[in-house]
Amino acid sequence: MLPLYSFFSFCLVAVNSVQAQYIPTDTQALTIKEIEHYYLDAATNGFFSAITPCTNYQDPTAPAPDNTLGMQTAAEWIRTAFHDFVTGSIFTGLGGLDASIGFETGRRENVGAAFNDALLFFSFFYNAQVSMADLIALGVVTSVANCGGPKVPMKVGRVDATAAGPSGVPEPETSISDTLNEFNTAGFNDGDTVTLTACGHSMGGVHRNIFPQVVPASAIGPNNADGRVPFDETVAVFDVTTVNDYVHWTGAKGGPLVTTTNKTVQSDLRLYTYDNNQTITQLSQSSAYFQSQCQGVMQRMIELVPYSVRLSAPIDPTTTTNLKPAAIYLSVDWKGNMALSGFMRYVQVAGAAAPPGTLKITLIGRNGQTTAISATGTMSASDTGTGIWGPTRSYPFTLSFPATTGLGGISVSGQTFSFQDTMFVVPGMSNFSPTPPTFSTTSSLNTVSTYTVNITVAYLTTAPPASLTATFNIPVPQAGTVSPTISTSTTATLQKIGTVGPFTIFSVITSKSLSAKQVYGTSVDVAAPGQAAGVKFFKPFNKAA
Ligand code: HEM
Ligand SMILES: *[C@@H]1O[C@H](CO)[C@@H](O)[C@H](O)[C@H]1NC(C)=O
Ligand SMILES: *[C@@H]1O[C@H](CO)[C@@H](O)[C@H](O)[C@H]1NC(C)=O
Ligand SMILES: *[C@@H]1O[C@H](CO)[C@@H](O)[C@H](O)[C@H]1NC(C)=O
């Protein structure tokens, strides 16, 4: 998979600028927009960088990948989801995929670097709209699909736990009855448990340095400092090989948790033989069958969430997301000219029509009526990147219109996208300094500086309040886990600085000491006194979005 360099650099053009947004009451739409970017755009330094190629190991505290350890990021992400989810309960409706694993890494059942590796990498993508639990789910979806497996549906809306959950993750020593009971409580019957474990054990392996009771010291060798014995011959491919090896007793014969000479820790053998090899033999019937079964159980794994959590529809470019606005900015100047700029993203999924050379973007006014005002978005010639769904194309455009007409949405190729101009940050009147270091998913973003930001907001109102309040959502360290949380303790008061057309303009300048990593994860909500946020999830120090 090639990174979409051009897409990313296009976004960087707007780095000192700000974004318009979908109707702010639908905060899940903002989360979807963020996850779409991580999932579909495959940007340099993006979410896929740690798992490309699938053999890669990226310690997020190190400056570069290290492939001499016998470790593998894609496998770590899948194991992280397993350890996080399996202590959840369908009976109590608590736990599941909630990032509680971060508070639980001191437990013997969670031995290994995998969990903090994953959470630290994901924390570069964490913000007020994107929970760590959604990022753990995205880790499963991306590593499975990127490495030859099925496309597990990606829904958003998971909520992070604020403390450790119950223990009980099965270990190689755990009895078969305790193991099955743990999975049953998480909603997986005995056959499902075999399937999920066999699917999970398609990538990666068992490491001598943390499981010496399973793997002999002889496993340590050149480019295998941690002494990994893989589950199968295709350690970086999500495929049926480990299952076939076990059933036909070939190759790695199902891996170290089957073949280890220490009977106490033959957990995969105990599990697979529990139903006389029935489920595992069925899984080996064909590659397609294996993949479809894995898709189902992996989806159920990442969708075990507390009863109180409402997940979105899947992000699926074959349906609604193959044509969508991205990185949209709304502006107004002192003369009353408004502009909506950004681009349309077209994902050319398998079997879809070739991307059109141009798209016509038509303005829907504030009153909801389609106008005669339109702009042409021309496919960016340098867009050649391909993500897991296919090539992603971008169509930059700018729609210009008077403030009296205003913005209600746009229509493109028969689809309508709603926006609001009730309250928005005005890019041309807002700025920040200094420019933070280039976004990268390494520790280089830890440098702290004092960042000064001017936030200027246009508010469509006939009765302007004396001031508006901006609340900063800043990722901050959280005791007991490497996962950050959001602090909302910084606020700023915007004062009236003028009017233009139907808008009153409010502005503030404020400073804050932040690491570059925090800067990239920070967003701001702006509201009139006593009202719900009119601007939600504005990124004052916008990275590509
Ligand atoms: C019966 C339950 C299970 C037990 C006892 C078990 C045990 C283990 C052990 C001991 C390791 C070695 C970890 C290391 O050395 O780094 C491992 C690796 C792994 N497990 Fe499991 N596992 C179970 C089920 C699952 C499930 C349900 C999944 C996911 C769906 C899963 C995914 C993985 C992955 C991807 C690895 C490779 C990690 C890496 O290479 O870093 N496991 N498992
Ligand atoms: C076998 O595994 C058990 C359980 O972890 C451990 O106590 C024992 O020392 C292991 N035996 C050998 C020979 O490694
Ligand atoms: C299950 O499969 C394993 C590995 O192929 C084999 O050694 C074992 O005898 C089988 N057990 C049963 C009960 O079929
Ligand atoms: C922010 O910048 C704009 C545009 O330069 C300016 O008009 C405004 O007064 C500034 N805000 C404050 C609070 O100084």
The answer to the question of residue 124 being in a domain is yes
**266 CB near ligand 1 (under 6 Å):** no
User: What lines the ligand 4 site, CB under 6 Å?
Assistant: 429, 454, 456, 497, 507-509
**265 CB near ligand 2 (under 6 Å):** yes
Does residue 483 carry a pLDDT above 70? Answer: yes
The answer to the question of residue 34 being in a domain is yes
Taking the centre of ligand 1 as the mean of its atom positions, its distance from the CA of residue 254, in whole angstroms, is 12
User: Would you state the structure tokens that stand for residue 497, as one six-digit string?
Assistant: 């600085």
Which CATH number belongs to the domain containing residue 146 in this structure? Answer: 1.10.520.10
Structural domain ending residue among the three candidates 361, 394, 420: 420
Do 224 and 111 share a structural domain? Answer: yes
* Cα radius of gyration rounded to whole Å, the chain: 25
Q: Hey, how many other C-beta atoms are within 10 angstroms of the C-beta on 262? A: 15
Does residue 2 carry a pLDDT above 50? Answer: no
- Transcribe 362-397 into DSSP letters: EEEPTTS-EEEEEEEEEPPTT---EETTEEEEEEEE
The answer to the question of residue 86 being in a domain is yes
**277 CB near ligand 3 (under 6 Å):** yes
- Angle, nearest 10°, between helix axes 267-274 and 176-185? 70
Structural domain ending residue among the three candidates 377, 393, 420: 420
**264 CB near ligand 2 (under 6 Å):** yes
The answer to the question of residue 4 being in a domain is no
Q: Which ligand 2 atom lies nearest to the CA of residue 265?
A: 2
pLDDT band at 392 (very low <50, low <70, confident <90, very high): confident
Do 143 and 273 share a structural domain? Answer: yes
Do 252 and 373 share a structural domain? Answer: no
Kindly state the greatest CA–CA separation across the chain.
Answer: 79
**247 CB near ligand 3 (under 6 Å):** yes
Do 481 and 504 share a structural domain? Answer: yes
Q: What whole-number distance in Å separates Cα of residue 356 and Cα of residue 13? A: 24
Of residues 386 and 80, more confidence is placed in: 80
Of residues 18 and 457, more confidence is placed in: 457
Of all helices (H) and strands (E), which one includes residue 339? strand 337-347
In this structure, the residue with its CA closest to atom 29 of ligand 1 is 200
Range in 29-43, 458-472, 530-544 with the lowest mean pLDDT: 530-544
Is the Cβ–Cβ distance between 257 and 269 less than 8 Å? yes
Taking the centre of ligand 2 as the mean of its atom positions, its distance from the CA of residue 264, in whole angstroms, is 7
Backbone phi, psi, residue 340, to 5°: -115, 120
For the chain, give the mean pLDDT. 91
pLDDT in tens, 404-443: 999 999 999 999 998 889 999 998 899 899 988 888 887 7
Taking the centre of ligand 3 as the mean of its atom positions, its distance from the CA of residue 264, in whole angstroms, is 17
Buried b / exposed e over 171-182, threshold 16 CB at 10 Å, is: bbebeeeebbeb
CA torsion angle 544 314 30 364 (round to 10) = 100
Q: Which ligand is nearest to the CA of 492?
A: 4
Contacts of 11 (CB under 8 A, 6+ apart): 43, 327, 543, 544, 545
**204 CB near ligand 1 (under 6 Å):** yes
Taking the centre of ligand 1 as the mean of its atom positions, its distance from the CA of residue 470, in whole angstroms, is 45
Does residue 496 carry a pLDDT above 60? Answer: yes
Q: Which ligand 4 atom lies nearest to the CA of residue 454?
A: 1
In this structure, the residue with its CA closest to atom 24 of ligand 1 is 197
Q: Which ligand is nearest to the CA of 452?
A: 4
Do 394 and 246 share a structural domain? Answer: no
Do 528 and 446 share a structural domain? Answer: yes
Do 452 and 415 share a structural domain? Answer: no
**248 CB near ligand 3 (under 6 Å):** no
Taking the centre of ligand 2 as the mean of its atom positions, its distance from the CA of residue 201, in whole angstroms, is 22
Mean pLDDT of 69-91: 98
* Predicted local confidence at residue 17, as pLDDT: 33
Tell me the residue range of the domain where 117 lies. Answer: 27-302
Q: Which ligand 3 atom lies nearest to the CA of residue 276?
A: 13
Mean pLDDT of 464-482: 97
Matching residue, tokens 């971008």? 394
Q: What whole-number distance in Å separates Cα of residue 124 and Cα of residue 516? A: 10
Which CATH number belongs to the domain containing residue 337 in this structure? Answer: 2.60.40
The answer to the question of residue 312 being in a domain is no
Q: Which ligand is nearest to the CA of 263?
A: 2
Structural domain ending residue among the three candidates 420, 439, 466: 420
pLDDT in tens, 265-305: 999 999 999 999 999 999 999 999 999 999 999 999 999 99
The answer to the question of residue 21 being in a domain is no
Does pTM surpass 0.75? Answer: yes
Does residue 130 carry a pLDDT above 60? Answer: yes
The answer to the question of residue 2 being in a domain is no
Is the Cβ–Cβ distance between 4 and 393 less than 8 Å? no
CA torsion angle 200 205 208 212 (round to 10) = 40
Q: What whole-number distance in Å separates Cα of residue 410 and Cα of residue 325? A: 9
Taking the centre of ligand 2 as the mean of its atom positions, its distance from the CA of residue 455, in whole angstroms, is 61
Is the Cβ–Cβ distance between 469 and 526 less than 8 Å? yes
Do 257 and 152 share a structural domain? Answer: yes
User: Would you state the structure tokens that stand for residue 422, as one six-digit string?
Assistant: 């009730």
Do 431 and 366 share a structural domain? Answer: no
Taking the centre of ligand 1 as the mean of its atom positions, its distance from the CA of residue 485, in whole angstroms, is 28
Do 94 and 238 share a structural domain? Answer: yes
The answer to the question of residue 14 being in a domain is no
Do 360 and 287 share a structural domain? Answer: no
Do 437 and 407 share a structural domain? Answer: no
Taking the centre of ligand 1 as the mean of its atom positions, its distance from the CA of residue 203, in whole angstroms, is 9
Taking the centre of ligand 3 as the mean of its atom positions, its distance from the CA of residue 246, in whole angstroms, is 8
Q: What whole-number distance in Å separates Cα of residue 72 and Cα of residue 226? A: 11
**171 CB near ligand 2 (under 6 Å):** no
In this structure, the residue with its CA closest to atom 30 of ligand 1 is 200
| The total number of structural domains that make up the chain | 3
